[in-house]
Structure 1
Amino acid sequence: MKNAFYGATALTLVTAGGAFADAHATELTIAIVNNGHMINMQTVAEAYTEATGVTLNWVSLEEGVLREQVTSDTATGGGQYDIINIGMQEAPIWGAAGWIEPLEFGADYDVDDMLPAMRNGLSADGVLYAAPFYGESSMVMYRKDLADAAGVSIVDNDSWDNVKAAAAAMHDPDNGVYGACLRGKPGWGDNMAFVTTVVNSFGGAWFDADMKPTLDTDEWKAAIEFYVDMLGSYGPPGSEGNSFNEILALYNEGKCGMWIDATIAASFLEVDGVAYAQSPNAGNPVGANWLWAWAMAVPTGTDKTDEAKAFIEWATSKAYIEAVGNHPDFGWGSVPTGTRTSTYAIPEFQAAAAFADAELAAINSAAPEATDIKPYVGVQFAAIPEFPEVGSAVAQEIAAALSGAKTVDEALAASQSAADAIMQEAGYY
Structure 2
Amino acid sequence: MSIKKALYAATAMSLFAAGGAIADGHAKELTIAIVNNGHMINMQKVAEAYTEETGVKLNWVSLEEGVLREQVTSDTATGGGQYDVINIGMQEAPIWGAAGWIEALEFGAEYDADDILPAIRAGLSHEGTMYAAPFYGESSMVMYRKDLTDAAGVTIADNDSWDNVKAAAAAMHNPDAGVYGACLRGKPGWGDNMAFVTTMVNSFGGAWFDADFKPTINSDEWKAAINFYVDLLGNYGPPGSEGNSFNEILALYNEGKCGMWIDATIAASFLEVDGVAYAQSPNAGNPVGANWLWAWAMAVPTGTDNTDEAKAFIEWATSKEYVQAVGNHPDFGWAKVPTGQRSSTYALPEFQAVAGFAAAEMAAIESAAPEATDLKPYVGVQFAAIPEFPEVGSAVAQEIAAALSGAKSVDEALAASQAAAESIMTEAGY
User: What interval of TM-score do these two structures reach, taking the shorter chain for normalisation?
Assistant: over 0.9
Q: CA deviation at 1:26?
A: 1.3
Counterpart residue type for residue 221 of structure 1: K
Question: What is the DSSP-based 3-state SS (H/G/I as helix, E as strand, rest coil) of the residue aligned with 2:263?
Answer: strand
Residue pair 1:290, 1:380 contacting (<8 A) in 2 also? yes
| Structure 2 match to 1:117 | 119
Residue pair 2:11, 2:308 contacting (<8 A) in 1 also? no
- Cα distance in 1 for partners of 2:385, 2:283 equals 23
Question: What is the DSSP-based 3-state SS (H/G/I as helix, E as strand, rest coil) of the residue aligned with 2:83?
Answer: coil
Residue pair 1:202, 1:283 contacting (<8 A) in 2 also? yes
Residue pair 2:84, 2:300 contacting (<8 A) in 1 also? yes
1:19 maps to 2:21:
no
Residues 161-209 of structure 1 deviation map (CA, whole Å, 9 limit, x = unaligned): 0000000000000000000000000000000000000000000000000
Residues 294-352 of structure 1 deviation map (CA, whole Å, 9 limit, x = unaligned): 00000000010000000000000001001100000000000000000100000110111
Counterpart residue type for residue 15 of structure 1: K
Residue pair 2:145, 2:276 contacting (<8 A) in 1 also? yes
- Cα distance in 2 for partners of 1:372, 1:26 equals 50
| Structure 2 match to 1:297 | 299
Residue pair 2:105, 2:132 contacting (<8 A) in 1 also? yes
Question: What is the DSSP-based 3-state SS (H/G/I as helix, E as strand, rest coil) of the residue aligned with 1:324?
Answer: helix
Scaled by the length of structure 1, the TM-score of the pair is: 0.96
Counterpart residue type for residue 328 of structure 1: P
1:264 maps to 2:253:
no
The gaps in structure 2 that reach 5 residues or longer are: 16-21
Residues 26-68 of structure 1 deviation map (CA, whole Å, 9 limit, x = unaligned): 1000000001000000000000000000000000000000000
- Cα distance in 2 for partners of 1:103, 1:341 equals 20
Q: CA deviation at 1:20?
A: 7.4
Question: What is the DSSP-based 3-state SS (H/G/I as helix, E as strand, rest coil) of the residue aligned with 2:392?
Answer: helix
- Cα distance in 2 for partners of 1:60, 1:291 equals 23
- Cα distance in 2 for partners of 1:42, 1:129 equals 23
Counterpart residue type for residue 13 of structure 1: S
Residues 188-240 of structure 1 deviation map (CA, whole Å, 9 limit, x = unaligned): 00000000000000000000000000000000000000000000000000000
Residue pair 1:185, 1:241 contacting (<8 A) in 2 also? yes
Question: What is the DSSP-based 3-state SS (H/G/I as helix, E as strand, rest coil) of the residue aligned with 2:2?
Answer: helix
Residues 65-123 of structure 1 deviation map (CA, whole Å, 9 limit, x = unaligned): 00000000000000000000000000000000000000000000000000001100000
Instruction: Give the alignment of 1:20-39 within 5 angstroms.
Output: 24=22, 26-39=28-41
* Counterpart selection for 1:206 from 205, 208, 215: 208
Counterpart residue type for residue 369 of structure 1: E
- Cα distance in 1 for partners of 2:60, 2:2 equals 20
- Cα distance in 2 for partners of 1:167, 1:338 equals 28
Q: CA deviation at 1:13?
A: 3.4
Instruction: Give the alignment of 1:80-119 within 5 angstroms.
Output: 80-119=82-121
| Structure 2 match to 1:176 | 178
| Structure 1 match to 2:51 | 49
CA RMSD, 1 decimal: 1.0
Residue pair 1:20, 1:311 contacting (<8 A) in 2 also? no
| Structure 1 match to 2:18 | none
- Cα distance in 1 for partners of 2:216, 2:11 equals 52
Question: What is the DSSP-based 3-state SS (H/G/I as helix, E as strand, rest coil) of the residue aligned with 1:223?
Answer: helix
Scaled by the length of structure 2, the TM-score of the pair is: 0.96
- Cα distance in 2 for partners of 1:80, 1:127 equals 25
Q: CA deviation at 1:14?
A: 1.2
| Structure 2 match to 1:307 | 309
| Structure 2 match to 1:8 | none
Question: What is the DSSP-based 3-state SS (H/G/I as helix, E as strand, rest coil) of the residue aligned with 1:215?
Answer: coil
| Structure 2 match to 1:6 | none
Question: What is the DSSP-based 3-state SS (H/G/I as helix, E as strand, rest coil) of the residue aligned with 1:216?
Answer: coil
Counterpart residue type for residue 115 of structure 1: L
Instruction: Give the alignment of 1:192-341 within 5 angstroms.
Output: 192-341=194-343
- Cα distance in 2 for partners of 1:196, 1:121 equals 18
1:362 maps to 2:351:
no
Identity of aligned residues (%): 86
- Cα distance in 2 for partners of 1:114, 1:231 equals 36
Q: CA deviation at 1:21?
A: 10
- Cα distance in 2 for partners of 1:386, 1:53 equals 41
- Cα distance in 2 for partners of 1:356, 1:296 equals 23
- Cα distance in 1 for partners of 2:301, 2:9 equals 18
The gaps in structure 1 that reach 5 residues or longer are: 1-11
Residue pair 1:131, 1:316 contacting (<8 A) in 2 also? yes
Counterpart residue type for residue 104 of structure 1: E
- Cα distance in 1 for partners of 2:9, 2:147 equals 49
Counterpart residue type for residue 9 of structure 2: A
Residue pair 1:35, 1:245 contacting (<8 A) in 2 also? yes
| Structure 2 match to 1:163 | 165
Counterpart residue type for residue 196 of structure 1: T
